[in-house]
Structures are given as structure tokens and as C-alpha cells.
Structure 1
């Protein structure tokens, strides 16, 4: 389980760094701007989680995470300059990052002996906060605040799936894979079929 969490976290950092660069490229940022956005996207959610849980920040404890974010950002910057960037190219890697980070965040909180509800929220925080920073830095409305966007909700469903399966006796590794699949499938379906949550409309 520890190895899965480590490599899932590393993959999440890499994928989120890619989405940060893709969004920065759409805003015509230079290399420094793109790397800054990518790094904030890659480590922002996990940083907030660790601060809230009062534990050592993950990329300070292991600088391989930070090195991965920067290296992937540089490679993606030069790759993305060679071809046009579509919205779909941005959204699907973002869904992968959401799935990976949400599960890693929830499991990290569980290992820190957080109650189940707190752990599920930490999964959401880890999954979405890097994307919030990315969108704010790029002068965009964050995805979680777009009307009806099925984003933070699927992260919470996945985190609760992880916690629920482990409570039922499913081993942690299997629970993590299932939870990541749930998030990825739900988010991909929301993108593909434009599934939206009900929005608040006050009666006139």
C-alpha cells in the first residue's frame, strides 16, 4: 500500500504539472510563468492537506516530488509549443490528476488517524486545490466554481468509496484502485456527456 501511495502521488504530481503547463500555454505565458503555474498545480493540494493535518509537507520531506513537477513542466512546455492545445487535451489529464490526488489525500489523512469525514474532505482538498491555484493564476474561474460542474463531488465520492471499502474489510490497495477508477469514470462521463449538478436559481 505504501508503494502504491508513493507512486500514485508521484504520478499525480506529474499529471497536474502537465495540466498547469497546458493552461499556462493557453494564456501565452513564458517558461517561468508556465513552470510556476505547473508547480503550484502539482503540489498545492497536498501542501494544504499537510498544513491542515499539521504534518510535514510532502514535497519538503521528499524533494523528488518537487523535482518531478519542475522536470515534467519543462518537458511539457516545449512539447506543447509544437502543437495546438484543445480543451479536451486539458480536461482528461486533469481528471486523472483528480483521481490520483483525491485517493492519495484521503489515505494519507487516514494514516494520520483522521476521522472518516475529515479524511474524505482531505481527499477533496488534495484533489482540487492545486487546480484552484492553477485557474486563479491563469485568471480563470476555478473548475469547482463553474455552475453545475461535476468535479469536487466526484472527488468526494471517490474518497468516501476508499474509506467505505476499507471499513468493509477490503485491502487498502484494492480499495485505492477502485476509488481511483470511480473518480476517473465519473469525471470522464461528466466531460463526455456534459453531466451537470443542479444549480441554484432563485424564483423571480
Structure 2
């Protein structure tokens, strides 16, 4: 089993856990836990495969769905033990994001051979599951939080892809991409790192336009 495969399974598991934690915050039943865990765990990879026009990864390998089911059940019985479930959700999301940006970039690179597509697909794979989770659970979207999110996935996917292009061994590139993505997202969570936001300015009056 390669490191990218390990990151793939790990990413599904931790994203499924964030979906189940979101379900616990909404006090849903076990079916709600299963649904949110599965949607979050496989959502990003499903969209990636549809865009790349390849067989959806979890249809040919039921292990991914079984992982989501197992994680949902575990969280259903243990979520009450966690003091701050939303904080845990965000940190697990950071781990899943770091794993999926590498895995998504690797798969897209293998399929298309394009570094640009690899970076875009890595970023999409890493972020869409979290966005879908928040949308379905009615939680504030991670995209609307002030600290860095998508940029962390973009950084990790870029580091992995550049390392791959430079001829580094895949485990080295994968670990580097994972570490950069997690460091950026983790730093954003801990220290509030953010990219300067757009500041509204008064528009020009029609008579001032030449």
C-alpha cells in the first residue's frame, strides 16, 4: 500500500468524522450521522472523478463506504465525550484537507499528466467535502470563516505536484504536500492567519466617469 493510498483512506475517515460530528451538533439520528459522514467522506473525490470522467472511486471499492459507516457509528456513541466538537471538527477537517489535496493531485496527474489540472483537482478534492458538509448541516461554511482554507489545499497540492515534476520519490512529495497544507491550515486555525479581504469603497458617481 503506497503512502498516497494511506492518505486516501485516512482522508475519507477524518472527513467522515467531521460529517458525523456535524450531525451530533444538530442532534440527528443514526441515519443522519451515516448520511453526513458518507457525503463528507466521499463528496470531494466523487466530484473530482465526475469532472475527470472516470469511474467514481467508491463504486468500485466498497471499503470507502464501509469506512464512513464505521466512523459514523463510532462518533454516534462517543461524540458526547468531546468537550468542543466544533473545534475538533475544524482540526480533523485540516487533516482531511491535507490528505486529500495530495491524493486528488496525484490521481489527476496520473489521469491527465497536466500539473495545472493536478493542482486544481487536488484543491477541489480537499475542499468540496467540507463545503458540502456545512451546506447539508446548516453550519457556517468554512469558506466564510476569516482564516485561510482553500489556499492551504492549493499550497499542499502545488508542493506535491512540483515535487513530482522535480522527480522526487512519491512518498517525499506526498509528505511534503501534506505537511505544507496542514501547517498552513493549522496555523490559520491557531493564529488566525488570513489573506487580506476585499474592502468596499464608495463607487464613482456617473458624472465622474470620463
TM-score normalised by structure 2 residue count = 0.92
Q: Hey, what's the Cα distance between the residues in 2 that align with 1:130 and 1:86?
A: 18
- Is residue 130 of structure 2 the alignment partner of residue 157 of structure 1? no
CA RMSD of aligned residues (A): 1.3
Q: Hey, what's the Cα distance between the residues in 1 that align with 2:89 and 2:131?
A: 14
Please state how far the C-alpha of 1:147 moved relative to its aligned partner. Answer: 5.0
Aligned to 2:61: 62
Higher CA-based Rg? 2
SS in 2 for 1:28: coil
Structural mapping, 1:87-126, within 5 Å? 87-126=86-125
Please state how far the C-alpha of 1:118 moved relative to its aligned partner. Answer: 1.2
Q: Which moved more, 1:67-76 or 1:77-86?
A: 77-86
Please state how far the C-alpha of 1:114 moved relative to its aligned partner. Answer: 4.0
Which ranges in structure 2 are unaligned for 5 or more consecutive residues? 203-210
Please state how far the C-alpha of 1:24 moved relative to its aligned partner. Answer: 1.4
8 Å CA contact 1:147, 1:199 repeated in 2:
no
Aligned residue pairs: how many?
A: 202
Q: Which moved more, 1:192-201 or 1:84-93?
A: 84-93
TM-score normalised by structure 1 residue count = 0.94
Please state how far the C-alpha of 1:201 moved relative to its aligned partner. Answer: 1.6
Q: Hey, what's the Cα distance between the residues in 2 that align with 1:86 and 1:173?
A: 32
- Is residue 182 of structure 2 the alignment partner of residue 192 of structure 1? no
Aligned to 2:21: 22
Which ranges in structure 1 are unaligned for 5 or more consecutive residues? none
Q: Which moved more, 1:96-105 or 1:113-122?
A: 113-122
Please state how far the C-alpha of 1:83 moved relative to its aligned partner. Answer: 4.1
8 Å CA contact 2:147, 2:189 repeated in 1:
no
Aligned to 1:74: 73
SS in 2 for 1:33: helix
Q: Call closer, same or farther: CA 1:184–1:83 in 2, change over 3 Å.
A: closer
Q: Hey, what's the Cα distance between the residues in 2 that align with 1:6 and 1:60?
A: 16
